[in-house]
Chains A and B, each alone.
Chain A
Amino acid sequence: MTSYFNEMYQDGAVRAPYARLEDWMRTMPAEFRQMKQAEAEALFRRIGITFAVYGEGGDPDRLIPFDMFPRVFTATEWGKLERGIKQRARALNAFLVDVYGRGEIVRAGRIPARLVYQNEAYEKAVVGFVPPKGVYSHIVGIDLVRTGAEDFFVLEDNCRTPSGVSYMLENREIMMRMFPDLFRENRIQPVDSYSDRLRRTLASVAPAKCRGEPTVVLLTPGHFNSAYYEHSFLADLMGVELVEGQDLFVEGEYCWMRTTEGPKRVDVIYRRIDDAFLDPLCFNPSSMLGVPGLMDVYRSGGVSICSAPGAGVADDKAVYTYVPEMVRFYLGEEPLLQNVPTWQCAKADDLKYVLDKMEELVVKEVHGSGGYGMLVGPKSSKAEVEAFRHKVMEDPDNYIAQPTLALSTTPTFVQEGIAPRHVDLRPYCLVGESIDLVPGGLTRVALKEGSLVVNSSQGGGVKDTWVLAE
């Protein structure tokens, strides 16, 4: 039986950050809790925070389950994480500028050329181009798990368009509305400056040709997208237009949006669509979402695109293994955050190990996301493991494996009362002229007993994440 780090209780005592929650939790009558839970749900539904799960039918306006029990960090714990996260975000950006430039890290033999240049996410269209301020990934979402008081591991990096930040903000809003007393008793650092900071970050990478206050827009695939709520929420908080591809067009050296007063120039595009859909002339010719000619304008410095096309090569699960190496190579520092040990099935030795020990490991597709295309060995039947073993043998390059991590738990409201459930954490690091991180992030919780999968598409929920003031 694996033992899990419980973030609230250690050796029968309450850990410091949770000290004031003990009473709150013990004295809360069951009816009160149910009433508050219903209130929270009504608030979410009213605000319209829903998400769609692809290919399942059913209610298209589904709520992500919200757990009212907060997850808490002390200022000291957070300080360490913050340094590690910023360090990693800097290294990832340095890597991106490098591999689309001279490729020093490859020449130095610190990462295999094949992994970079033959990577599906490597964007030949931007080779030799350095985006403004040398930033490719402006919002870096780093997924972290905890296994002990001092032990944090990076599960994966998200350099393209990490989602979920609207939950970080709304969870806090709702908690403050429902439990103002908690916020009086605990000194919790605010997160609501995120949108201002995001706007500042985006404006700071305006192209050289932009004169005056840059016009920033948020580019969404449209209202059928499962994250549409987040897109409109962020655009609103930043006070920028929420555009679709059809609202933009290219003329001359610039990109313009269609307004009721005629064309208006756009300087910075915070895009929430994939590279492949940005520009049908450059990438996917059948894309209806993109803006024909956009890449030409981008490459000639007429518009900035955030994250920059090509940023995906840094958050690939196979490249992930080399991020600590990037930190050493570009920053000359030792990595503050550790990677989870990873076996690459592309390597013969690793493959042999993975095939042998599959029932103990978590095996993932290199390009998979959202908890799909993965196997959690210890939680799977013999038949499932066998089936997955065949998939891996057929295409080993497409898989990596990691040990099953003992994800920490925090108390969570469940049917029977309160019980520990496994959690992870996604902070959102902003990279522009400077590098910035709000004290908080999105805590995802696996609501099913024993489950280690926190993805909302697979029974995961979310919690408010507190960072206490000093």
Chain B
Amino acid sequence: MLSRTADNLYWIARYMERADIAARLLEVGSRISLLPGVQGYRSEWDSLLQSSGTADGFAKKYGDPVQRNIESYLFFDRDNPSSVASCITAARENARIVRTALTSQVWDALNTAFQELRQLERTPRSELELSLLTDWVMRHAAMVRGAIDATLLRNDGYNFLNIGYYLERGDNTARLMDVKYYVLLPRVDFVGSGLDNYQWATLLRAMGAQRAFHWAYGGEVTAAKIAHFLILNPQSPRSLITCVAGTNAHLARLAKAYGRATLAQSKAAAILAELETTTVDAIIDEGLHEFLSRFIGESAVLGHLMHECYLSGDVR
């Protein structure tokens, strides 16, 4: 497959997943903001911007984080490359470039999302509830994902798409957790408090995993259980280990199909090996924030290797 085509497919997946995450972030934000204010509590909206890496861009354009503006910035703003609108447009543009590598169902799902987005953009904001918008994004992200799973040939393109999804999702799970732990909670002595637990629950809800969590663990929500669920539990669809294992599996299929492995395979295998052998206690000993930062860094290295070993066109 053309390297450029592989690159486009990989980015379709990353952008769609990113749009999904932006919507989930918005949902987390609006729920947390329903909590009564706490003295000395940093703005929860500000922390959301930080988690999506868009705080600077927002500050430059709007100044203080006001909910309405944040909603616009994270959803509609084309100046924000991570906004839902930017991501869906970019995903659709990438798809338009590689129409030949997609089934008509996948294209249809992406194009429909884009066409509907343009209608939303023309609708007065006063008629658009936030919950409607976030539902809309998650629905379309799921439709694209579903069309890929149901109709796409299981060839190398399918592997590149999946690697894009898994890398982006793992990265985002790590960021969402990091924001919760490092930015969201104002002081260490809030750990284990009602506020702490409420925030964790909200985080789970944003990941669509609240019920799943209760089925898997039961009882009280604690930081350790959640860390286990979102990092080490292979049953959790968004846990780091699930994402890395997914990346790993699709890289293995590529290696088999192409008859050769690259540095990307060894890197993914190394990250997976660590997750498979570590424990929640070890992670908490290291410090959750430190662990997550390290994971985000490793993930970025893997993304870079994907580029070098498959997508850049300089493969020999």
Decide yes or no: A236 and B97 within 8 Å by CB, A258-B313, A260-B3 being known contacts.
no
Within A194-242, which residues are at the interface with B (CB < 8 Å)?
223, 228, 232-233, 235-236, 241-242
- Partner of B2 from the list A46, A228, A243 (CB cut-off 8 Å) is A243
Nearest B-chain residue to A263, judged by Cβ: B316
Decide yes or no: A258 and B4 within 8 Å by CB, A46-B108, A246-B313, A247-B313 being known contacts.
yes
Decide yes or no: A260 and B311 within 8 Å by CB, A46-B111, A48-B107 being known contacts.
yes
Chain A residues with Cβ below 8 Å from B313 are 246-247, 258
Within B103-142, which residues are at the interface with A (CB < 8 Å)?
104, 107-108, 111-112, 115
B178 at the A/B interface (Cβ < 8 Å)?
Answer: no
Chain B residues with Cβ below 8 Å from A257 are 2
Instruction: Render B216-260 as a binary contact track against A, CB cut-off 8 A, 1 for contact.
Output: 000000000000000000000000000000000000001000100
B161 to chain A, nearest CB (A): 13
B1 at the A/B interface (Cβ < 8 Å)?
Answer: yes
Tell me the complex Cα distance, A244–B314, Å: 15
Chain B residues with Cβ below 8 Å from A228 are 96
- Partner of A232 from the list B3, B99, B112, B156 (CB cut-off 8 Å) is B99
A262 at the A/B interface (Cβ < 8 Å)?
Answer: yes
A261 at the A/B interface (Cβ < 8 Å)?
Answer: yes
Tell me the complex Cα distance, A135–B1, Å: 30
Tell me the interface secondary structure of chain B in the complex. helix
Contact between B315 and A261 (Cβ–Cβ < 8 Å)?
Answer: yes
A415 at the A/B interface (Cβ < 8 Å)?
Answer: no
Chain B residues with Cβ below 8 Å from A45 are 115
Nearest A-chain residue to B313, judged by Cβ: A258
Chain A residues with Cβ below 8 Å from B6 are 260
Chain B residues with Cβ below 8 Å from A48 are 96, 99, 107, 111
Tell me the complex Cα distance, A232–B315, Å: 24
Tell me the complex Cα distance, A257–B111, Å: 29
Tell me the complex Cα distance, A352–B315, Å: 63
Tell me the complex Cα distance, A187–B141, Å: 44
Tell me the complex Cα distance, A47–B102, Å: 12
Chain A residues with Cβ below 8 Å from B5 are 241
Tell me the complex Cα distance, A241–B97, Å: 12
A249 to chain B, nearest CB (A): 9
B11 at the A/B interface (Cβ < 8 Å)?
Answer: no
A86 to chain B, nearest CB (A): 30
Tell me the complex Cα distance, A250–B223, Å: 57
Instruction: Render B284-316 as a binary contact track against A, CB cut-off 8 A, 1 for contact.
Output: 000000000000000000000000001101111
Tell me the complex Cα distance, A236–B107, Å: 13
Chain A residues with Cβ below 8 Å from B77 are none
A259 at the A/B interface (Cβ < 8 Å)?
Answer: yes
Tell me the complex Cα distance, A259–B98, Å: 14
Chain A residues with Cβ below 8 Å from B193 are none
Chain B residues with Cβ below 8 Å from A263 are 316
Chain A residues with Cβ below 8 Å from B254 are 260
B100 at the A/B interface (Cβ < 8 Å)?
Answer: yes
Tell me the complex Cα distance, A46–B106, Å: 12
Size class of B's contact patch?
20 to 34
Contact between A236 and B100 (Cβ–Cβ < 8 Å)?
Answer: yes
Within A39-94, which residues are at the interface with B (CB < 8 Å)?
45-48
Contact between B100 and A242 (Cβ–Cβ < 8 Å)?
Answer: yes
Chain A residues with Cβ below 8 Å from B98 are 232
Tell me the complex Cα distance, A77–B42, Å: 80
A215 to chain B, nearest CB (A): 12
Tell me the complex Cα distance, A268–B313, Å: 20
Tell me the complex Cα distance, A263–B310, Å: 12
Contact between B316 and A259 (Cβ–Cβ < 8 Å)?
Answer: no
B12 to chain A, nearest CB (A): 13
Question: Which of B5, B6, B310, B311: most chain A CB closer than 10 A?
Answer: B5
Contact between B100 and A261 (Cβ–Cβ < 8 Å)?
Answer: no
Tell me the complex Cα distance, A236–B101, Å: 8
Tell me the complex Cα distance, A246–B93, Å: 18
B259 to chain A, nearest CB (A): 8
Tell me the complex Cα distance, A244–B3, Å: 11
- Partner of B100 from the list A47, A232, A259 (CB cut-off 8 Å) is A232
Chain A residues with Cβ below 8 Å from B104 are 47
Tell me the complex Cα distance, A284–B250, Å: 42
Chain A residues with Cβ below 8 Å from B112 are 46
Tell me the complex Cα distance, A1–B198, Å: 83
Tell me the complex Cα distance, A315–B113, Å: 43
Nearest A-chain residue to B314, judged by Cβ: A258
Chain B residues with Cβ below 8 Å from A241 are 2, 5, 100
Decide yes or no: A262 and B2 within 8 Å by CB, A235-B100, A236-B100 being known contacts.
no
Chain B residues with Cβ below 8 Å from A247 are 2-4, 313
A226 to chain B, nearest CB (A): 13
Chain A residues with Cβ below 8 Å from B97 are 223, 232
Within A252-267, which residues are at the interface with B (CB < 8 Å)?
257-263
Contact between A261 and B4 (Cβ–Cβ < 8 Å)?
Answer: no
Chain A residues with Cβ below 8 Å from B107 are 48
Tell me the complex Cα distance, A175–B103, Å: 22
Nearest B-chain residue to A258, judged by Cβ: B313
Tell me the complex Cα distance, A262–B156, Å: 14
Chain B residues with Cβ below 8 Å from A261 are 1, 258, 315
A265 to chain B, nearest CB (A): 14
Chain B residues with Cβ below 8 Å from A244 are 4
Question: Which of A223, A261, A263: most chain B CB closer than 10 A?
Answer: A261
B238 to chain A, nearest CB (A): 27
Contact between B3 and A258 (Cβ–Cβ < 8 Å)?
Answer: yes
- Partner of A260 from the list B1, B93, B115 (CB cut-off 8 Å) is B1
A388 to chain B, nearest CB (A): 39
The 4 closest A-B pairs by CB, nearest first: A258-B313, A236-B100, A232-B99, A223-B97
| Interface contacts beyond A232-B96, A260-B3: sample of 19 additional A-B pairs, CB < 8 Å, sorted by A | A48-B99, A232-B98, A232-B99, A233-B99, A241-B2, A242-B100, A243-B2, A258-B2, A258-B4, A259-B3, A259-B315, A260-B2, A260-B6, A260-B254, A260-B258, A260-B310, A261-B258, A262-B316, A263-B316
- For this complex, 5 residue pairs linking A to B, each with C-beta atoms less than 8 Å apart, are A45-B115, A241-B2, A258-B314, A260-B315, A261-B315
Task: List residues of chain B with CB under 8 Å of any chain A CB.
Answer: 1-6, 93, 96-100, 104, 107-108, 111-112, 115, 156, 160, 254, 258, 310-311, 313-316
